[in-house]
């Protein structure tokens, strides 16, 4: 069994957090890490107890939803709320941070930003990162899913292909299907 890299592991955590997002425009997750340990996580959503975009719609001003707090900011604020230092930490974000989040990341003392997708990468945010010595890099995402029924699905596919082999005289085509199934389940 191959283990995923640390970058993929922490990015997967951010992708999982993004599933909690309440914004209908873009789901974002962020994970703050120090010494290979998760110290905080956040997703974009409304203030605690506030109305959510999924319920009330986005509150858009100047083409920006002002109802939500960004994932990076939520993660940084979680550290502040519980007294967890962010200096020299790293942050994993599903999308490149907006300009305001770039500034917050710098002020929080976070030294590395890993992101999975480019998203309106602001030139001034990039300039600020460079001036502040904040490294930023794109992490290749591998498609990952948690499938608790994989064994049963594989058995089902194998049974179907076996039945086809008995009934059909197109074993070349069935062999191709079996090879495709092998690729999907490997």
pLDDT tens profile 54-96: 999 999 999 888 999 999 999 999 999 999 999 999 999 999 9
Catalytic residue among 51, 56, 72, 90: 72
Q: How many helices (H) and strands (E) does the chain have?
A: 7, 7
DSSP run (H or E) holding 37: strand 37-43
Burial class from Cβ neighbours inside 10 Å (0-12, 13-18, 19+) for residue 115 reads buried
**3 state SS of 169:** coil
**3 state SS of 76:** helix
Residue in 100, 107, 112, 113 with CA at minimum distance from that of residue 69: 100
Q: pTM of this prediction?
A: 0.77
- Residue 179 bears catalytic tag: no
Say how far apart CA 180 and CA 182 lie, in whole Å.
5
- Condensed to tens digits (0 to 9), the pLDDT of residues 126-151 reads 999 999 999 999 998 665 555 566 67
Selection from 4-8, 33-37, 142-146 with the highest mean pLDDT: 33-37
**3 state SS of 24:** coil
């Amino acid at each position: 069994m191959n283990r995923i890299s640390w970058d993929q592991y922490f990015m997967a955590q951010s992708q999982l957090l993004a599933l909690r997002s309440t914004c209908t425009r873009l789901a974002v997750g962020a994970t703050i890490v120090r010494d290979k340990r998760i110290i905080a996580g956040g997703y974009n959503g409304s203030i605690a107890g506030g109305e959510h975009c999924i319920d009330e719609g986005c509150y858009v001003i100047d083409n920006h939803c002002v109802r939500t707090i960004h994932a990076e900011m939520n993660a940084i604020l979680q550290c502040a709320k519980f007294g967890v230092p962010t200096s020299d930490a790293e942050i994993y974000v599903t999308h490149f941070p907006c300009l305001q989040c770039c500034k917050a990341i710098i002020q929080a003392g976070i030294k590395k930003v890993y992101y999975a997708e480019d998203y309106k990468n602001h030139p001034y945010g990039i300039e600020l990162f460079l001036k502040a010595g904040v490294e930023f890099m794109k992490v290749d995402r591998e498609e990952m899913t948690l499938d608790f029924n994989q064994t049963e699905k594989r058995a089902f596919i194998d049974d179907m292909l076996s039945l086809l082999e008995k009934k059909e005289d197109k074993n070349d085509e069935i062999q191709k299907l079996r090879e495709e199934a092998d690729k999907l389940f490997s």
